Structure 1
Amino acid sequence: MHRSPPGRYVTVATAEEPYQAFVPAPLPPQPPLAWTPALRRRFDDALVALGRLDAVSALLPNAALLAYSFVRKEAVLSSQIEGTQSSLADLLLFEIDEQPGVPLDDAHEVSRCVAALERGLALLRGGLPLCGRLLCEVHAVLLDHPRERGKAPGEFRRSAVWVGGTRPSNAAFVPPPAGALPACLAAFERFLNDQPEATSPLLKAALAHVQFETIHPFLDGNGRIGRLLIVLQLLADGVLREPLLYLSLFFKTHRRLYSERLNAVRLHGDWERWLDFFAEGVQVSAAQAVVTAQALLALANEDRDRIAALGRAAQSALAVHQELQRQPLTTAATLARAAGLSAATVNKSLAHLSALGIVTELTQRQRGRVFSYPRHVELLNAGLPPPRA
């Protein structure tokens, strides 16, 4: 279905040359969405897949450990969309102060994406609703790096931005001028919090993602914040209990189609094709996450049973194994701090785990050795494209 553009163009006069900027209309779309049987079925399938994913997290004894891994997987993928070359292994090495296989700035950028989502989760769980303040705090964490200081971390932009081209007048898309941002963001915040009327959570997440990317409220980092917002919205509305959904893989795999669907909304008001694409992404991503979660659980249980057979050494080895699920690339010193064990005990446990084939030592050095839980890392990496893909 094609409508007129869901907003209006305004002419912005500048000293150089005037240009057209797009100011989106408030959500929900008008006229109302055309819900064909196929689109309803797509949303039903996506909701079923999300329900299965949430059920997995409810049944897992180590759901928090799994969420820790999935948050990092999503951060790596989201950052790759923005051009970083960091892999999951690079991030894990960076987190234990080891040299990753990519420039440090790339690994640091991914670690900021992890910290940004964790900040958003903490604010939500502390009772703050999805709002401008939350988005700004998440943005401040995302851009917490010396090279980002000129990009106004934690602040909505006060100047123009554009997508494509060398200046606003020849850009592919120009979001609202800074003067229109307060009204756009106020309406957006009301929609996120079901004012003046409630919107079903999955539909809300789909519509809100387009609206956020269209408003483009920050000087930089809008893509990463917009992808984080999807998971935060589903958590805020109780659809998910843990951040186990990583949609960035689907968006990266179908990057061209993603851009086409967004542009079709802005140009023609074609919300329905975007909704079909988004719901398919949720369905595919949730199903993949369930498979990964179940495989990681089976691996943890299998290895736990083997460790339990160690006898007196089992208790400390199990504690180390638990921490390896949180940090599958790590050092003995890091494990000792996390597990509350002595260095000697951790080293003995690592020797037992190495003998069982659960742990591999990577560095072949006497001090500061790096250990890997390789099968855990392999399962997390399953299906991931290389950074340059």
Structure 2
Amino acid sequence: MWIWQQPLWPEFTWDPAPLVPLLRDTRFLQGKLYGSSQVLNSAQTTLDTLLANILYSSDIEGERLHAGSVRSSLATHLGVDDEITWPVDKRTEGLVESALDAINNIDEPLTAQRLLHWHSLLFPPEDKLFNAIKGGQFRTGPVQVISGRIDKPVIHFEGPDAMRVAGEMDAFLHWFNTSRHDAQADPILRAGIAHLWFLTIHPFEDGNGRIGRLIMDLALAQAEHNTVRLYAMSRTINTHRKEYYAVIEQTQRGDMVLTPWLNWFVRMLRVSIEETLGLIDQTLFKTHYWQRFNQAALNPEQIKVINRMLDGDFQDGINNSQYKAVARVSRATATRHLAQLVEQGFLVGNEGGGRSTRYSLPGKASA
């Protein structure tokens, strides 16, 4: 029995006990992220976050987009100057438009018309030669989520009958729009519930996952608008894609208890925010590093390697061979460059000595 076949559908329940500490930690991190975000270039950060969300939301569904094309469209919309521009097709423009609508127009009600518009942007008429899906309409037939061989398919989920879709969507949209103003509804849990509920109705023939993640982004933006542009939840979900599909299937095959799904959802939100905080720490470290050390004392090859390390490469330190490969110099030159960097304090060497010596940034010396 699928969850939508349960007699109490859609009266979801969950155990707050394991969720309360997770929510507390996540809200603390949201506040920390907001406080730390002043060091970032807001327009560039928004571009990078939206780019990751668009690319990875499609990647979750097995579709690879052209990153340069998506980036060029975002740069145009956000007024960011990009050194390299790529041609942008109608579908890419639509993906960007829907992503921006979800996080910018948070006070606009979520309606069937808005969702159908997002879907038409996802499947524009120009794509008909390559994709038979007609955008901008709810499905008119049955839908299943399957995997495996054609002759031996594994059914992971089956959506409600198409005749029920309109009524199910009416109930979902009414809840979504009214729950935002419900003082008893936790806004982070609301985002998780909205995503799962929409996926369970599965109102479209295709594109439900991507539209569902737009709804998630909208709900998260309504929950906390200051930081939603800073973290890419779809990137985190993509990293944990197997868990994502497994916990959704488990929940859709279960009763009305959403505790496992909500637990996973909040943990992934926390991970996503922590990753952004890590990037901010990295940015601050890089800024302070170059304030402390004078680039003029280095040659271009040394600066290139140092910047790679400051950007997160070579977490365990860099050795002579790696320096040689990155800087594109001889082994003897690499040895000389590294010795100079250590002598001037730009790097510190471990105590191994010889060819096994690894060199780290001061303050980030590897164990």
TM-score (norm 2): 0.65
Give CA deviations for 1:13-69 in whole Å, capped at 9, x if unaligned: xxxxxxxxxx9923x51xx32222x33212222222223233344x35732331111
Q: In the aligned structure 1, how far is the partner of 2:249 from the partner of 2:8?
A: 13
Residue type of the partner of 2:137? Answer: E
SS in structure 1 of the partner of residue 178 of structure 2: coil
Per the alignment, residue 34 of structure 1 pairs with 15
2:99 matched residue in structure 1: 117
Can you give the 5+ residue segments of structure 1 that lack an aligned partner in the other structure? 10-22, 307-354, 360-373, 383-389
The secondary structure found in structure 2 opposite 1:173 is strand
Shift of 1:244: 2.2
Displacement of 1:213: 0.9
Which residue number in structure 2 is paired with residue 280 of structure 1?
Answer: 267
Secondary structure class of the residue paired with 1:199: coil
Alignment length (residue pairs): 293
Q: Kindly provide the amino acid, as one letter, of the partner of residue 99 in structure 2.
A: L
**1:78 matched residue in structure 2:** 57
Does the residue aligned with 2:5 lie in a helix, a strand or coil?
Answer: strand
Distance in 1 separating the partners of 2:278 and 2:115: 31
Deviations 1:262-285 (A, max 9, x none): 112111234111111111100000
Hey, what does 2:133 align to over in structure 1?
151
Alignment partners' CA distance in 1, 2:54 and 2:3: 31
Please give the secondary structure, in 1, of the residue aligned with 2:144.
coil
| 1:199 pairs with 2:196 | no
Alpha-carbon deviation of 1:163?
0.8
Q: 1:175 aligns with which of 147, 156, 159?
A: 159
Aligned to 2:28: 48
- SS of the aligned residue for 1:172 comes to strand
Equivalent pair of 1:192/1:208 in contact (CA under 8 Å): yes
List aligned pairs for 1:263-274, cutoff 5 A: 263-269=249-255, 270-274=257-261
Q: Is the 8 A contact 2:160 2:201 kept in 1?
A: yes
Aligned to 1:252: 238
Amino acid in structure 2 at the alignment position of 1:42: L
CA distance in 2, matches of 1:358, 1:201: 45
State the Cα distance separating 1:171 from its structure 2 match: 3.5
The 2-side partners of 1:119 and 1:50 are apart by 22
Q: Aligned residue for 1:261?
A: 247
Q: 1:113 to 1:297 in 2, by over 3 A?
A: farther
Deviation at 1:117?
0.3
Q: How many Å separate the matches in 1 of 2:199 and 2:260?
A: 17
Matches within 5 A, 1:166-245: 171-195=155-179, 197=182, 198-245=184-231
Residues 201 and 239, structure 1, Cα contact 8 Å, conserved in 2: no
**What CA distance in whole angstroms lies between the structure 2 residues aligned with 1:25 and 1:186?**
14
CA RMSD of aligned residues (A): 4.2
1:291 counterpart = 2:259: no
Do the aligned partners of 2:102 and 2:217 also contact (CA within 8 Å) in 1? Answer: no
How big is the shift at 1:288? 0.6
Give the residue type in structure 1 aligned to 2:277.
V
2:361 aligns with none
Q: 1 CA distance for matches of 2:86 and 2:225?
A: 37
1:98 CA displacement:
4.0
The answer as to whether partners of 2:220 and 2:228 remain within 8 angstroms in 1 is no
Greater displacement, 230-239 / 201-210: 230-239
Contact 1:76 1:110 in 2 (8 A): no
Name which of structure 1's ranges 109-118 and 265-274 shifts more when overlaid on structure 2.
109-118
Q: 2: CA distance between counterparts of 1:281 and 1:34?
A: 18
- How many Å apart are 1:203 and its aligned residue? 0.6
The Cα offsets for residues 322-345 of structure 1, whole Å up to 9 and x where unpaired, read as xxxxxxxxxxxxxxxxxxxxxxxx
**What residue number does 1:8 align with?**
5
- Matched residue, 1:66: 45
- Distance in 2 (CA, whole Å) between partners of 1:268 and 1:185 is 21
Q: Find the residue that maps to 1:219 and give its secondary structure.
A: coil
* Paired residue secondary structure (2:138): coil
Label 1:71 to 1:87 Cα distance change in 2 as closer, same or farther (>3 A). same
Tell me how far apart the structure 1 counterparts of residues 288 and 124 of structure 2 sit (CA, whole Å).
38
Q: Point out the more displaced range, 186-195 or 146-155.
A: 146-155
Query: What residue is the counterpart of 1:333 in the other structure?
Result: none
**Residue pair 2:237, 2:268 contacting (<8 A) in 1 also:** yes
In the alignment, is the contact (CA less than 8 A) between 2:145 and 2:155 conserved in 1?
yes
The 2-side partners of 1:282 and 1:164 are apart by 27
| Unpaired stretches in structure 2, ≥5 consecutive residues | 76-83, 294-299, 316-367
Question: Partner residue of 1:15?
Answer: none
- Distance in 2 of aligned mates of 1:219 and 1:131: 18
Counterpart amino acid of residue 117 in structure 1: A
Match of 1:136 in 2: 116
Q: Distance between the aligned counterparts of 1:215 and 1:199, measured in 2? A: 21
